[in-house]
Amino acid sequence: MTNVTARRGIQSVEIAFRILSALQTSERALPLKEIAALSELSPSATSNYMISLVRTGLASTDEKPGCYKLGPASLALGMSAINQLDGFDIVRREVIALREATLSGAAVTAWTEDGPVSLFKQEGQTRSILELRTGLIPLVTTAAGKLFIACLQPGRTDDLISRELSAEQEWSPASLREEAITELRTCGFTTVHRGDMGYVSVAAPIWDRDGYLRFAISLIGSPATLDTEIEGKQIKALLDSAVRATVALGGKVPSKIG
């Protein structure tokens, strides 16, 4: 069978995707020159593409003149992609139930080659200082990200880990992985405490039928609102949700982690 990546494609489609990817990386609208730089295009070429992207609704103009952001058609495509994920309805219901049972923020995350992506969230009764959001989330500073570090091959995560770690930090991809694997084996979940920001997150694995991590289901809160003790009610609710979702997806817990 011919390798798809080696076959001839439509260059303009791939260039348009680069532009959309540039817009995706920012939480604000971007000026044309910045989009061009991120897309490795000239401003004039980028301008021509933006006309078509705006016309189709994949991009839209911002209130600030000369700036662009993702448009309603991009949002519709993203929502459709999420809804087509195998098992998404199951984990979405678990997130809702988990939030009701714990009154804490809850979310479900999946892995993409760009990193962990939060697919669905429910805010807790008491808002965390860090607002829950959908889309790409950090790998190193979230419990869901830590879960993927523990379960995925190093080649899939090391570059992202190195990108997020500052030069001053003593951690390395290998040491982070070792800690994450040990915690998952011992506790059945991963935790991240960010005392400087009053932020705590806990994540449990949802496995697929082959024993691979399919989703991470998380609780998010503060030290005052989220009890991370193994025997606590909130952790029990989290682990119960993960088990129910794994069973509903026909999944199985792997014999060995890491």
Count of the separate structural domains present in the chain: 2
Distance, CA of 205 to CA of 187 (rounded, Å): 11
Per-residue pLDDT, 151: 95
Residues in Cβ contact with 191 at an 8 Å cutoff, skipping those fewer than 6 apart: 143, 146, 183, 200, 201, 202, 203, 228
What DSSP letter does each residue of 106-142 carry, written as one string?
EEEEEEETTEEEEEEEE--SS--SS---SEE--SSSS
DSSP letter for 19, please: H
Clarify whether residues 183 and 242 are in a common domain.
yes
Residues 69 and 154 in one domain: no
Q: Mention every residue, 6+ apart, whose C-beta is less than 8 A from residue 99.
A: 105, 106, 122, 123, 124
What's the confidence (pLDDT) of residue 214? 93
What is the CA 58 to chain-centroid distance, rounded?
Answer: 21
Closest CA to 108 of 93, 125, 124: 93
In 3D space, the residue among 246, 243, 237 whose CA is nearest the CA of residue 106 turns out to be 237
Q: What's the confidence (pLDDT) of residue 132?
A: 56
Q: Tell me which of 34, 52, 75 is where a domain ends.
A: 75
Tens of each residue's pLDDT in the chain, 258 residues: 344 445 677 888 999 999 998 998 887 899 999 999 999 999 999 999 999 999 999 999 998 999 999 998 888 787 676 666 668 888 999 999 999 999 999 999 999 888 899 999 998 886 655 555 667 899 999 999 999 999 999 999 999 998 888 755 678 899 999 999 999 999 999 999 986 667 899 999 999 988 999 999 999 998 888 999 999 999 999 999 999 999 988 888 887 776
Supply the CATH number for residue 69's domain: 1.10.10.10
Spatial separation of the C-alpha atoms in residues 123 and 219, rounded to whole Å = 10
Amino acid residing at 128: S
The pLDDT assigned to 134 comes to 63
Q: Is residue 2 part of a domain?
A: no
The full length of the chain comes to 258
Q: Is the pTM of this model over 0.75?
A: no
User: What pLDDT is attached to residue 136?
Assistant: 84
- Strand-pairing partners, residue 203, are 190, 218
Report pLDDT for 35.
94
Do 98 and 32 lie in a common domain? no
The reported pLDDT for the residue numbered 52 is 94
Report how far residue 216's alpha carbon sits from residue 116's, in angstroms, rounded to the nearest whole number.
Answer: 9
Q: Which domain holds residue 190?
A: 85-248
The pair phi, psi for residue 167, each rounded to 5°, is: -65, -25
Residue 5 has a pLDDT of 47
